[in-house]
């Protein structure tokens, strides 16, 4: 039985006056900005901030690379997103109940993680980090769906730019400012520890939950056939069981088989034993994915997980669906390679101080990302979606060569500047900090181009979603978009230690080429997405 079409959130009330319409649009865009902040805050805490914590605790680069797998929930969130499409928590209405629940859960997990140790209890630390990524990915499912349901097509370009604005502001707080707080050389300016930072972020997530409960506009809920509810619940648990079975098969059979296949070859190389083990673990991981995904798909079909199957089926029936999916995986792949181990590269290989990295990479750089996103959103109005994706993708690829230049030439090649001591209340520098000119140049180019690419990319994802299955489809698409960011971590850590940083950044540049080639092939269906269906229908009616 087909699901009924929902009332479109973008439909304007007939009696609304132009000032009321403008006020409602401003409210929607403000909400999108605040939700971008709530989404970006925990992401840095499962990524670069976590890497900085582990780097300062003395963990090796290969181990840090493998611990980037704590972000795996971001790539599998489409498996439980259908439950967030299908069910709503009581009292707060469509989407808002899930938002408040996930934000309070994030506060709790951050508090627990602040009491764990990456060296004293690595396994517990890693499990809590996975739990943090799971709840954060769940919050992203709701935010992405709510934003897509809330914004009319005409507001999506600016909405995606403002989403990046909020997102990057959050990363300035949880990344840049936190790096300054935790710099040992800046002890007189605060001298925070990473556990203290994580406890503060827990308090900020409690504040986000209060805002979500009070200021978010309501979105309509499509009518769901009640007979599907039981199937969705049993289907979800069937998929979870299939994933657990795939994990056990990987541990029991995949790891020994990978060792048998790679062991003889690796024994004849000059790689250290620990690095050889990382290559074997990487092969076992890929084999496990090859087994787990088909097993989960089979379980979903057998259990009649309707919301998942219907949402995915609806997406794959559109023209160019498979090509779009491949493009989504590839578009940020070069960026993901270069950025997956950025913090260890800057702190360990380049020997920059935490405050210098925090100021340049996490504060100045993220402000430049925001500027890039806003400029990108404005340029999209002139360029259109396809040309924006192509131009910004070329700039993203070129920015990776900046890190190659930095790895080859080292620090202090270009004139730098001295950042004077300051005290802004919430953050301070106890003493002047030297900012390397080469680092500033490379980070500026990377963040401006990355912000422009992200704005176009988010608008592209929103244009692919059907509003009956917004959470499911956006979760699927954004999960594939995060494949590079999460899955290249283990490979990046092994490659960086095996081939060296300069060659590693050349590889990251080459990894960006396939997406641009595929975008050229898909130029006709991507350009078709630039047409607003509602506008097209209105023009036809006229």
Q: 2 pLDDT exceeds 60? A: no
Locate tokens 């009696």: which residue? 15
Give the ranges where 350-436 is alpha helix by DSSP (H): 354-357, 365-383, 385-409
φ, ψ of residue 419 to 5 degrees: the values are -90, 120
Structure tokens at 337: 């390679």
Between CA 25 and CA 22 the distance in angstroms is 5
Which residues, in sequence order, are CB contacts of 122 under 8 Å at separation 6+? none
- The 10s digit of each residue's pLDDT in 248-286 is 888 788 878 888 888 788 777 766 676 677 677 767 877
Q: Which residue has the higher pLDDT, 186 or 512?
A: 512
Half-sphere exposure for 424 (CA within 13 Å, toward CB): 8
The answer to whether the Cα torsion of 154, 157, 158, 160 is positive or negative is positive
Which residues, in sequence order, are CB contacts of 172 under 8 Å at separation 6+? 362, 363, 366, 367
Locate tokens 């084999």: which residue? 287
pLDDT at 436: 80
Phi-psi region for residue 384, left (φ > 0), alpha (ψ -120 to 50) or beta? Answer: left
- The 10s digit of each residue's pLDDT in 15-73 is 456 777 888 888 888 888 889 899 888 877 887 778 777 777 777 666 676 676 777 78
The answer to whether the Cα torsion of 482, 164, 344, 400 is positive or negative is positive
Q: 336 pLDDT exceeds 50? A: yes
Between CA 342 and CA 336 the distance in angstroms is 10
pLDDT at 428: 60
**Measured CA angle at 237 (ends 234, 238), to 5 deg:** 85
Residue whose C-alpha is closest to residue 51's, from 64, 39, 63: 64
Q: 371 pLDDT exceeds 50? A: yes
CB 202 within 8 A of CB 107: yes
CA 76 to chain centre: 12
- The 10s digit of each residue's pLDDT in 411-429 is 777 877 776 766 665 556 6
Q: 7 pLDDT exceeds 50? A: no
Give the ranges where 3-72 is alpha helix by DSSP (H): 18-46, 48-56, 61-66
Q: What integer is the mean pLDDT of 378-392?
A: 85
Phi-psi region for residue 155, left (φ > 0), alpha (ψ -120 to 50) or beta? Answer: alpha
Confidence of residue 8 (pLDDT cuts 50, 70, 90): very low
* Of 105-119, 134-148, 212-226, 294-308, minimum mean pLDDT range: 212-226
* Of 182-196, 205-219, 352-366, 518-532, minimum mean pLDDT range: 182-196
Between CA 393 and CA 490 the distance in angstroms is 24
Mean pLDDT of the chain: 77
pTM of this structure: 0.64
Confidence of residue 202 (pLDDT cuts 50, 70, 90): very high
pLDDT at 186: 55
Q: 177 pLDDT exceeds 80? A: no
């Amino acid at each position: 039985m087909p699901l009924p079409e929902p009332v479109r959130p973008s439909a304007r009330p007939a009696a609304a006056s132009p000032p009321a319409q403008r006020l409602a649009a401003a409210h929607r865009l403000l909400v999108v900005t605040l939700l971008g902040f709530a989404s970006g805050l925990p992401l840095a805490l499962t990524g670069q901030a976590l890497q900085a914590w582990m780097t300062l605790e003395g963990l090796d680069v290969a181990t840090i690379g493998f611990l980037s797998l704590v972000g795996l929930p971001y790539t599998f969130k489409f498996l439980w997103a259908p439950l967030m499409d299908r069910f709503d928590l009581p009292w707060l209405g469509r989407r808002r109940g899930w938002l408040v629940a996930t934000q309070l859960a994030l506060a709790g997990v951050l508090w627990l993680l602040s009491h764990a140790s990456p060296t004293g209890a690595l396994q517990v630390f890693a499990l809590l980090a996975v739990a943090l990524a799971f709840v954060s990915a769940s919050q992203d499912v709701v935010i992405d769906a709510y934003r897509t349901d809330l914004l009319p097509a005409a507001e999506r370009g600016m909405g995606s730019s403002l989403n990046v604005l909020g997102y990057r502001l959050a990363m300035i707080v949880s990344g840049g400012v936190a790096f300054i707080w935790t710099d040992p050389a800046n002890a007189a300016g605060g001298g925070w520890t990473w556990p203290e930072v994580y406890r503060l972020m827990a308090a900020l997530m409690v504040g986000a939950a209060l805002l979500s409960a009070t200021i978010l506009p309501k979105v309509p809920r499509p009518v769901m056939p009640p007979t599907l509810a039981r199937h969705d619940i049993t289907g979800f648990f069937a998929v979870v069981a299939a994933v657990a079975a795939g994990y056990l098969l990987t541990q029991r059979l995949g790891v020994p088989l990978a060792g048998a296949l790679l062991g003889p070859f690796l024994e004849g190389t000059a790689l250290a034993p620990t690095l050889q083990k990382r290559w074997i673990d990487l092969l076992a991981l890929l084999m496990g994915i090859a087994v787990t995904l088909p097993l989960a798909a089979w379980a979903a079909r057998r259990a009649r997980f309707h919301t998942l199957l219907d949402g995915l089926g609806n997406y794959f029936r559109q023209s160019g669906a498979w090509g779009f999916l491949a493009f989504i995986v590839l578009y940020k792949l070069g960026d993901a390679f270069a950025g997956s181990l950025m913090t260890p590269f800057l702190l360990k290989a380049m020997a920059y101080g935490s405050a210098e990295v925090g100021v340049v990479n996490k504060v100045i750089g993220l402000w430049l990302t925001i500027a890039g996103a806003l400029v990108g959103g404005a340029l999209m109005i002139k360029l259109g979606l396809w040309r924006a994706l192509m131009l910004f993708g070329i700039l993203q690829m070129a920015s990776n060569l900046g890190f190659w230049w930095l790895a080859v030439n080292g620090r202090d090649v270009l004139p730098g500047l001295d950042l004077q001591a300051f005290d802004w209340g919430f953050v301070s520098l106890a003493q002047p900090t030297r900012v390397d000119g080469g680092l500033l140049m490379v980070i500026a180019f990377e963040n401006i181009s990355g912000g422009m690419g992200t704005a176009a990319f988010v608008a592209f994802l929103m244009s692919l979603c059907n509003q009956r299955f917004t959470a499911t489809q956006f979760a699927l698409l954004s999960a594939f978009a995060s494949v590079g960011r999460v899955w290249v971590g283990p490979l990046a850590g092994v490659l960086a230690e095996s081939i060296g940083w300069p060659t590693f950044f050349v590889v990251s540049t080459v990894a960006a080429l396939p997406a641009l080639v595929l975008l050229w092939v898909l130029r006709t269906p991507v350009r078709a997405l630039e047409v607003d269906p509602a506008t097209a229908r209105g023009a036809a009616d006229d």
